[in-house]
Amino acid sequence: MAAEDPATRRVQVAEHPRLLKLKEMFNSKFGSTPKFYVRAPGRVNIIGEHIDYCGYSVIPMAVEQDMLIAVEPVKTHTLQLANTDPLYLDFSTTANNICIDKTKPLWHNYFLCGFKGIQEHFGLSKLPGMNCLVDGNIPPSSGLSSSSALVCCAGLVTLTVLGLRLSKVELAEICAKSERYIGTEGGGMDQSISFLAEEGTAKLIEFSPLRATNVKLPSGAVFVIANSCVEMNKAATSHFNVRVMECRLAAKVLAKHKGLQWDNVLRLEEVQSKLGISLEEMLLVTEDGLHPEPYSREEICRCLGISLEKLRTQILTPNTQDELTFKLYQRAKHVYSEAARVLQFKQEVWGQRLTTYWSRMGRLHCVPRAH
């Protein structure tokens, strides 16, 4: 499945009210007819919260809500973006000089992430122009990954306009990397499930190398996803990146504590694999090597033997370099125990005791990952 290209199919637009409406809006916006439509779904995570960017496996599934884009390639090198939601303003740029402003995560920048990702992957200096009308129904900034659905959809739009082919895994990896152009240091879960999801099954997503395995859901189960209506824009605030940086710093301090080469360590999983020990043992290493009180920047510098300047400019991101304190212990404890929960699930699945697991879990509601 994962080695496949994304699926394409012929549809009668007149039989699909959403497509028909999009086609009509496209016509009134651009005075022409879309040549094709691309869609990418949002997701909910079932087990494995905030551990994908630490290198650990996760179990998400796609939701019905998606990003849908009507597309018309044009001969000029102009990229014109419009949105069915008037909140998202029209945008136009020359397709040859893409600039993504990290300081203002406006909606079109997510599209540009996917666009640029494909451009860079193929080393293209010139990209064809296109007119695009975006229609999304994933509640934004609510933890269902509307941002990644938009990045993935834009990547697939660009690939299709170029007439090139990539597997779903390649697309997921490109889009995971390119969404970071917006400034968020995410892992690869959201883009992976957006491309690799299949109807009726969740997926165990594992990294390095990226692979997805079906996780059969209990028949008749209903997943209720509640929207708290509190929005958290991951790129406009530093909350998300602070959490990623806390995990990164915990990984470095733990690596140093265990006498490992810590400079290149970025993820907590790397510390575990370098030590070659279990997740339970990593929890003991965490107890031993970190303290529950937040770490000041100065203490982190002392632990690692580096200057404040190096910490700020070479380890932290632009939107976290002025943070004064970091919770290393809590992050490491969470990541290793959450990774153990996914591993336990995986072993249960492999042991064919899935039904027992689901009933024991007693948790068939999902909490969207807001930050």
Name the residues that contact Mg ion, by CB under 5 A: 147, 234
The verdict on 131 binding ligand ADP (CB under 6 A) reads no
Phi, psi of 255 (to 5 degrees): -60, -45
Q: Is 134 in the site for ligand ADP (CB under 6 A)?
A: yes
Q: Is 56 in the site for ligand ADP (CB under 6 A)?
A: no
Handedness of CA 196, 43, 315, 337 (dihedral sign): negative
Its sign, for the CA torsion 133, 136, 141, 145, is negative
Of 107 and 345, CB closest to ligand ADP: 107
| Tokens encoding 60 | 């998400």
Residue 144 site contact among ligand ADP, Mg ion, none (CB < 5 to 8 Å, cut-off depends on kind): ligand ADP
Per CB under 6 A, the list member of 113, 133, 144, 247 interacting with ligand ADP is 144
287 vs 44: CA distance, rounded Å? 31
Q: How far is the CB of 22 from ligand ADP (least distance, A)?
A: 12
Nearest to 179 by CA among 266, 296, 100: 100
d(CA 177, CA 173): 6
Distance, CA of 247 to chain centre: 17
Residue 190 falls in the annotated catalytic set: yes
The answer to whether 150 contacts ligand ADP (rule: CB under 6 A) is yes
Within residues 23-42, the interface with ligand ADP by CB under 6 A covers none
Total interface residues for ligand ADP by CB under 6 A:
19
Query: One of 52, 66, 135, 190 is an active-site residue; which one?
Result: 190
Q: Which is nearer to Mg ion, 234 or 252 (CB)?
A: 234
CB-nearer residue toward ligand ADP: 152 or 204: 152
Give DSSP secondary structure letters for 150-198.
HHHHHHHHHHHHHT----HHHHHHHHHHHGGGGT----SHHHHHHHH-B
Cβ-contact 369, 49 below 8 angstroms: yes
> Least distance in Å: CB of 251 to ligand ADP?
23
> Which residues have a catalytic role annotated?
190
Q: Which residue ranges make up the site for ligand ADP (CB under 6 A)?
A: 83, 85, 88, 107, 110, 134, 136, 138, 140-147, 150, 233-234
